Chain A
Amino acid sequence: SQQGEEDPQALSIQEGENATMNCSYKTSINNLQWYRQNSGRGLVHLILIRSNEREKHSGRLRVTLDTSKKSSSLLITASRAADTASYFCATDAGNFNKFYFGSGTKLNVKP
């Protein structure tokens, strides 16, 4: 299956620390996206990285993509309690009509 898989499944850190989450996938992609989901809510798009990009930044977020290893990482720097949420990677199926989500990393940032 194409589905991305995140690790760790859960991560607990102190406010101010950095949080790193990883995503692995199985087949070729056009792009990879990261989403955040607060408990019981919808998904919020965070950042997209194209298959020909290796790194992308957006505010406190840094995403890397290694297509040779079929993996991506999301780094949240200087975490805040408000960053507490589940984070998912999503990959396309090569045609933008179908997207696969991983199981997510549940991040808990302790104040």
Chain B
Amino acid sequence: EPEVTQTPSHQVTQMGQEVILRCVPISNHLYFYWYRQILGQKVEFLVSFYNNEISEKSEIFDDQFSVERPDGSNFTLKIRSTKLEDSAMYFCASRANYGTYEQYFGPGTRLTVT
């Protein structure tokens, strides 16, 4: 069964460093999302992406964040200058097409900023 994959599973970085989190959505899906979950808290929407552009973003998704679909298969989330409070699990999700609403989530990347 097709699944969303994410790499790395765990990333440790120092405050101020740039990180890129990678996702490979399900191949025929058209809509892509990033969420984060701070330990013990709810899953928070970050950004949605369709047709090579951002559809919607939350207030969390400030200028430090960017997304890209560089090659038609990968979907990346970049954090330019990490802060301690960026430590969280980051989940990528994809959705098939207009008219289907189920999102399929990857296993997540645990980001630890020290």
State the A residues within 8 Å of B (CB).
3, 30-31, 33, 35, 41-45, 48, 88, 90, 92-93, 95-104
Residues of B94-111 contacting chain A, CB below 8 A: 95, 98, 101-108
Is B42 in contact with A44, judged by CB distance below 8 angstroms? no
Partner of B104, one of A3, A30, A45: A45
Residues on B with C-beta less than 8 A from A96 are 31, 95, 98, 101
Complex: A25 Cα to B87 Cα, angstroms: 28
Partner of B42, one of A31, A45, A102: A102
Complex: A70 Cα to B91 Cα, angstroms: 27
From known contacts A42-B107, A42-B108, A98-B48, infer whether A31 and B101 are also in contact, taking CB-CB under 8 Å: yes
Q: What's the least CB distance linking A26 to chain B, in Å?
A: 15
Complex: A25 Cα to B57 Cα, angstroms: 20
From known contacts A41-B107, A42-B107, infer whether A101 and B101 are also in contact, taking CB-CB under 8 Å: no
From known contacts A97-B48, A100-B45, A102-B42, infer whether A45 and B58 are also in contact, taking CB-CB under 8 Å: no
**Which of B42, B58, B107, B108 has the most chain A CB within a 10 Å cutoff?**
B42
Residues on B with C-beta less than 8 A from A45 are 102-105
Residues on A with C-beta less than 8 A from B66 are none
Looking across the interface, which residue of chain B has its beta carbon closest to that of A41? B107
Complex: A82 Cα to B91 Cα, angstroms: 23
Partner of B101, one of A33, A44, A100, A103: A33
Residues on A with C-beta less than 8 A from B93 are 43
Is B42 in contact with A101, judged by CB distance below 8 angstroms? yes
Is B102 in contact with A48, judged by CB distance below 8 angstroms? yes
From known contacts A33-B102, A42-B91, A45-B104, infer whether A97 and B42 are also in contact, taking CB-CB under 8 Å: no
